[in-house]
Amino acid sequence: MKRTSVWWFGPFRRWKAALGGLVFAVAVTVVVRATIPDAAGVIHGCYSKPGSNLYVVDSAVSTCKNGDTALTWNVQGPPGPVGPMGLSDGFWKNDLKIFTSVNLDGTPTDVETLSQLPAGNYMFTATLAFANSAATFANVQCILHTSDNPPVFLSNGVQTTVGGTANSFGSMTIVGAGTLTAPTDVKATCASTGTAFTQQSAPTAIRVATLTVQQ
């Protein structure tokens, strides 16, 4: 009975001691990993000049050996250059299915509107078409602007001439850019020195991350 007790508890004590050592080693490993790098993401190290040996230390509990030089470096390096611009937002007024001809004369008339564009930097393009069945010519002038009061002009004025023969047509493309500080409408407004009729048009707006206007 006594011999059996020695045979049973002897290996049990050795197994228990080994398990305790393993648990302690795991616990130590967790502590080291939790503090290197430190809370600010900085790795603390040391190097020995004679042997050029490099080792890391937990700055909260230890320092470099006498004669060794301390070094620090960050887990995250300095920011790199700005990458390419991501996707942009596009806005297009679809007049292909709903169209009403507008009679233009000397009075400025809104012929196209991009409604409630969000704030941001924009590039604008508006392709406008006109018709005139009269024998006389009509000179049509158009410009892009916001609906603010006073308006913010987003392009130079562009003009085209239609008329002279029956069923004559003319078109223009207006290119502009600008920054909208709040949601607003962007309009293409036109006037004519003679009678002209608007045709189906295609205004577009593209919101970009940055806008540089060269003079």
Q: What percent of the chain has pLDDT over 70?
A: 79
pLDDT at residue 117 greater than cutoff 60: yes
Say which residues have a Cβ less than 8 Å from residue 199's Cβ, sequence separation at least 6: 99, 101, 129, 130, 131, 169, 171
Q: Which domains does the chain have, with CATH numbers?
A: 2-74 (no CATH), 89-208 (2.60.120.760)
Mean pLDDT of 123-127: 95
Entry pTM: 0.59
Buried b / exposed e over 12-50, threshold 16 CB at 10 Å, is: eeeeeeeeeeeeeeeeeeeeeeeebbeeeeeebbbeeee
Say which residues have a Cβ less than 8 Å from residue 67's Cβ, sequence separation at least 6: 48, 49
Q: What's the chain's average pLDDT? A: 82
Token reading at 169: 């047509």
Categorise residue 67: left if φ over 0, alpha if ψ from -120 to 50, beta otherwise: left
Task: Give the side-chain half-sphere CA count within 13 A for 26.
Answer: 6
Measure the CA–CA gap between 107 and 190, rounded to whole angstroms: 8
pLDDT tens track for 5-35? 444 445 545 545 554 554 444 444 444 454 7
Measure the CA–CA gap between 43 and 41, rounded to whole angstroms: 7
40-44, 46-50, 142-146: least confidently modelled range = 46-50
pLDDT of 178 reads: 95
Say which residues have a Cβ less than 8 Å from residue 100's Cβ, sequence separation at least 6: none
